[in-house]
Amino acid sequence: MGLLRFLLVVGIIWLLYRVIQRIRLQTNPGKISPEISKMVRCEHCGIYLPREEALLSNDYYYCTQEHQIASSKEQE
């Protein structure tokens, strides 16, 4: 009977630990990973970069202004 009580106490302690751990993760927003930005492909060289850093021209994305100019010259 002593072993059964011991296992019951250990089980209750483990459950309390898990509940507290879950509550801490829900209330601590610092543990959440940052939002990943959408990646786009440069039409000229094919490199992927964040959409916020890309140049948009005629519905195409470019990594630099030089690639934007080079692509427009190739299309002429």
What pLDDT digit, counting tens, does each position of 17-48 carry?
Answer: 999 988 887 776 665 556 778 999 999 999 99
Residue 49, token pair as written in the block: 């970069």
CA distance from start to end of the chain: 88
- Same domain as 43, residue 20: no
- Same domain as 27, residue 43: no
- Same domain as 45, residue 22: no
pTM of the model: 0.52
The total number of residues shown for the chain amounts to: 76
pLDDT surpassing 80 at residue 55: yes
- Same domain as 45, residue 20: no
Q: Could you tell me the residue range of the domain that residue 24 belongs to?
A: 2-31
Q: Whole-angstrom Cα distance, residue 38 to residue 52? A: 8
Taking a C-beta distance cutoff of 8 angstroms, is the pair 21, 15 a contact? no
